[in-house]
Amino acid sequence: MSDLKRALGEAVEAAFAGLGLPAELGRVTASDRPDLADFQCNGALPAAKRAGKNPREIATAVAERLKDDPRLASVEIAGPGFINLRVADHTLTVRAGVIAADDRAGAEKLASPRRVLVDYGGPNVAKPMHVGHLRASIIGESVKRLYRFRGDQVLGDAHFGDWGYQMGLLIGAVMDEDAEIGGLVERLNAEDAPLSGPIPEPFQRVSLEDLDRLYPLSAARGKDDPAYRDRARKLTADLQAKKAGCYLLWRRFREVTHIALERDFHALGVDFDLWKGESDVDGLIAPMIADLDAKHLLIDDQGARIIRVARPEDKKELPPLLVVSSEGSAMYGTTDLATILDRQQSFDPQLVIYCVDQRQADHFEIVFRAAYLAGYAKEGQLEHIGFGTMNGPDGKPFKTREGGVLKLNDLIEMARAKARDRLHEAGLGEAFDEAEFEDVAGKVAVAALKFADLSNFRGTSYVFDLDRFTSFEGRTGPYLLYQAVRVKSLLRRATEEGAAAGPVTIAEPAERDLVLTLDAFETALAEAYDKKAPNAVAEHAYRLSQAFSRFYAACPILSAEPAVRSSRLTLAGAALKQLELALDVLGIAVPERM
C-alpha cells in the first residue's frame, strides 16, 4: 500500500480523466485546514476555465465519482470548488499497521536506482577546517545519506585539496625552519629514493600546528618576495615530478592533515567513502590536455590555452575555462575537469552532485560545460547545489570575537560546552557516568548544529545562535532528541510492565493526526530527493515530534485498557522508528537515554 497522498491522488486523477479532463488536475495535497479535511484537491478551478463550466459543478462531478471509495469517510465541496477528502478510520488503521511493520517506516525505494557521487567537505592539506566548511559538510553528508536511503548507489568524496603551488610554499617554509629537514629534502631529491617507503623520522616531526602556522606566513611572503615565490614554484615542480625529498615531505603534510580532518568530520557525524585528492588526477592531466587538443577544443589565447564555453542564449557572459596558463601550468579548473574524467573512468556515475558554496556557481558552470563539450559527462549529469552563509548577529559571515575565522574544531567544542550546560540545566543525565554523559552531550551538540542548518533551505543564509540551537524547546535538534528518547523510555517501561504492542485501532483525533503525519514521510523524502534539499526531511521530523507529543498528551498509553494500550504502543514504536530514520538521514544520532 503506497502512501495515502499518492493513492488518493491516483483516484482523484482517474475521476478527472473520467470526466474528459486532464488527469494532472487531480493533484492531491495535504489539507491546509486539517479541521475540515485530511487532503484536498483544487483542480476543479483550473478545470472550469478549460471547460467553460462552473468550478463547483466540476467539483461535484468529481466528488460523485469518489463517493463510494471505501478509503474515504467523506468527500465534500467547499468554497468556489475545493474538493475536501477525509480518510476513513479503518484506512488509517491499515496504513498504521503497514508503517509499523515496515523496516523503512513507510519509506519507499526508487524503482530505478542510480550511481551517484556527492562531492562535499572540500578540506585542504595544512589547513584546519573552519566554520566555512560546516555547511558543505552537513548538507553534503545529508544529501549523501538521503540518496543512499532512497536506494541509489552513492559515494561521498571529500575531494582533498592536496596539490599545487601552496604545497611548494609549505615545503620551502618547513625547509627554512628546520635545517635538518631542509638538508634531507635536498639530498633525497638528488637520489632515486623510493616514494612508497616509510616517511623519514625528521619529516615526522612536522605537525598540523606547524603547517597551520607556516602557511599564512609563507603565502604572504610569496606575494611580496619574487625570489621566494620562484623557489616555491620550483619546489612545486619538483613535487609534481615526484622527486623523493619533496614527495615524502608532502606525504607527511597529507597524513597529518588527514588524521585531524577525519577527527573533526567524524565528530560531526560526517564520514567519506573516498578521500581522493587533486594529486590523484595529476597523471591524467597531460593526456587529458592532449585529448582536448585532439578534439579541437583548446584555443591559444595570449600564451594560455582555453576552452570557450559561452552559449548564444546566455544572459550573462561566462569566461572561458583556463586549462593551461601562459607559464605552462595546469590550473584549478583543469584539475576539476580531470577529476570528472577520473570519476567517469572509476565509478561511471549517472549523477555527480557538488555541494559547494553558492559563490562558486559560475566556476562550476564553466567546468561542467567544458566537460560536456569534451564528452566527459552528459548534459545535466553534473550538478552544483550551492548554499548560503552561516552569519553572526550582524548578518555577516560568522567570525570570532576577535574578527578571525573560527576553526571548526573550536566551534564543535563550543557546542559541546553549551550542550553540557543545557543538560545540567534540564536535570538530564545526572545519573550517568562521565563517558555516557559526554556521549550524550556530543550527540546533543551535533543535533543542535545540524538541525539548525538543515531546517533551512540550503540556498538561504541563517544566523548562528548557539543558545537557541541548543534549547530543548522549539524547533531544535535537542528537542527532537528529547522526544525520541522519551519514546524509548516509554517503550522500556512497557516492556518492564509486561505490555506488548499489538494490532492498531484508530479512534481518537490525536491518533488520526499521528498516523497522517507518519504517512507523510514518503512525501517529505521524495521532495527532499527531487530538490536536493534535506530541509523537507527536517520539517517532517519536527512535525512528527509534535504529532507524537500531542498524541502522548491526549491518549494515555500504559494506563489504557489492554487492547488500546497495545495499539498505542504500536503507534509509539512506529513513530520512534520513523523519527530515528529521518534523523539518520540528517546525520543525527539519537542517544538511548538522557
My answer on whether 320 and 176 are in the same domain is: no
Q: What is the pLDDT of residue 133?
A: 84
Decide which of 222, 249, 267 is a domain's last residue: 267
Burial of 427 (0-12, 13-18, 19+ CB in 10 A): exposed
My answer on whether 200 and 348 are in the same domain is: no
My answer on whether 154 and 257 are in the same domain is: no
pLDDT per residue as tens digits for the range 49-65: 988 899 999 999 999 99
My answer on whether 335 and 415 are in the same domain is: no
**Count of residues making up the chain:** 594
pLDDT per residue as tens digits for the range 414-465: 999 999 999 999 999 999 999 999 999 999 999 999 999 999 999 999 998 9
Measured from the Cβ of residue 119, the count of other Cβ atoms closer than 10 Å reads 27
User: Does pLDDT of 517 surpass 70?
Assistant: yes
My answer on whether 484 and 516 are in the same domain is: yes
Predicted TM-score (pTM) of the model is 0.93
What span, in angstroms and rounded, lies between the C-alpha atoms of 452 and 590?
A: 16
Domain that holds residue 69: 4-87
How does residue 142 score in pLDDT terms, banded at 50, 70 and 90? very high
Q: What is the pLDDT of residue 140?
A: 97
Interhelix angle 244-267/179-190, nearest 10 degrees: 120
Q: What is the pLDDT of residue 403?
A: 61
My answer on whether 284 and 432 are in the same domain is: no
By C-alpha distance, which of 449, 446, 447, 444 is closest to 426? 444
Q: What is the pLDDT of residue 476?
A: 97
Cβ atoms of 89 and 70 within 8 Å: the answer is no
Q: In the Cβ-directed half-sphere of 507, how many Cα atoms lie within 13 Å? A: 9
By C-alpha distance, which of 57, 61, 62, 63 is closest to 80? 57
Q: Which of 121-130, 229-238, 369-378 has the lowest mean pLDDT?
A: 121-130
Residue 142 lies in a domain: yes
My answer on whether 291 and 355 are in the same domain is: yes
What span, in angstroms and rounded, lies between the C-alpha atoms of 287 and 270?
A: 34
What span, in angstroms and rounded, lies between the C-alpha atoms of 115 and 99?
A: 28
Coil/strand/helix, residue 390: strand
Interhelix angle 332-346/282-294, nearest 10 degrees: 90
By C-alpha distance, which of 30, 32, 21, 111 is closest to 57? 21
Give the pLDDT mean for 504-529: 97
Residue 107 lies in a domain: no
Burial of 177 (0-12, 13-18, 19+ CB in 10 A): middle
My answer on whether 499 and 569 are in the same domain is: yes
Residue 92 lies in a domain: no
pLDDT per residue as tens digits for the range 154-176: 999 999 999 989 999 999 999 99
pLDDT per residue as tens digits for the range 295-337: 999 999 999 999 999 999 999 999 999 999 887 878 889 999 9
What span, in angstroms and rounded, lies between the C-alpha atoms of 141 and 208?
A: 25
- Counting the structural domains of the chain, the total is 4
What span, in angstroms and rounded, lies between the C-alpha atoms of 49 and 68?
A: 27
What span, in angstroms and rounded, lies between the C-alpha atoms of 374 and 573?
A: 53
Cβ atoms of 218 and 263 within 8 Å: the answer is no
Q: Which of 304-308, 341-345, 356-360, 450-454 has the lowest mean pLDDT?
A: 356-360
Cβ atoms of 314 and 308 within 8 Å: the answer is no
Cβ atoms of 387 and 135 within 8 Å: the answer is yes
Q: Which residue has the cell 573512468?
A: 345
User: Does pLDDT of 524 surpass 70?
Assistant: yes
Domain at 12, CATH number: 3.30.1360.70
Decide which of 390, 424, 454 is a domain's last residue: 390
Residues 6+ apart with CB under 8 A from 371: 337, 340, 341, 377, 382
Residue 325 lies in a domain: yes
Q: Supply 198's cell numbers.
A: 616509510
What span, in angstroms and rounded, lies between the C-alpha atoms of 317 and 212?
A: 38
My answer on whether 65 and 80 are in the same domain is: yes
Instruction: Categorise residue 362: left if φ over 0, alpha if ψ from -120 to 50, beta otherwise.
Output: alpha
Give the pLDDT mean for 223-240: 93
Domain at 291, CATH number: 3.40.50.620
What span, in angstroms and rounded, lies between the C-alpha atoms of 452 and 455?
A: 6
Residue 590 lies in a domain: no
User: Does pLDDT of 188 surpass 90?
Assistant: yes
Averaged pLDDT of the chain:
94
pLDDT per residue as tens digits for the range 395-428: 888 876 666 678 888 888 999 999 999 999 999 9
User: Does pLDDT of 1 surpass 60?
Assistant: no
Residues 6+ apart with CB under 8 A from 105: 99, 518, 521, 574, 577, 578, 581
Q: What is the pLDDT of residue 162?
A: 93
| pLDDT cut 70: percent of the chain above it | 99
What span, in angstroms and rounded, lies between the C-alpha atoms of 413 and 178?
A: 32
Q: What is the pLDDT of residue 260?
A: 87
Residue 395 lies in a domain: no
What span, in angstroms and rounded, lies between the C-alpha atoms of 101 and 503?
A: 11
By C-alpha distance, which of 39, 44, 42 is closest to 5? 39
Residue 569 identity: L
Give the pLDDT mean for 372-399: 91
Cβ atoms of 494 and 576 within 8 Å: the answer is no
By C-alpha distance, which of 525, 522, 550, 548 is closest to 536? 525
My answer on whether 218 and 284 are in the same domain is: no
Decide which of 267, 291, 306 is a domain's last residue: 267
Please state, in angstroms and as integers, the Cα–Cα distance from residue 269 to each residue in 313, 319, 414, 581, following that order: 43, 38, 16, 15
Give the pLDDT mean for 135-155: 97
User: Does pLDDT of 11 surpass 60?
Assistant: yes
What span, in angstroms and rounded, lies between the C-alpha atoms of 364 and 336?
A: 9
Residue 93 lies in a domain: no
Interhelix angle 562-585/89-101, nearest 10 degrees: 60
My answer on whether 185 and 278 are in the same domain is: no
In the DSSP assignment, the letter for residue 68 is T
My answer on whether 346 and 436 are in the same domain is: no
Domain at 555, CATH number: 1.10.730.10
Locate the DSSP E strands across 293-347.
299-301, 304-307, 321-324
What span, in angstroms and rounded, lies between the C-alpha atoms of 461 and 455?
A: 11
Q: What are phi and psi of 384, to 5 degrees?
A: -95, 120
Residue 80 lies in a domain: yes
User: Does pLDDT of 394 surpass 90?
Assistant: no
pLDDT per residue as tens digits for the range 22-59: 999 999 999 999 989 999 999 999 999 988 899 999 99
Q: Which of 7-21, 103-117, 257-271, 512-526 has the lowest mean pLDDT?
A: 257-271
Q: What is the pLDDT of residue 130?
A: 79
What span, in angstroms and rounded, lies between the C-alpha atoms of 494 and 577?
A: 16
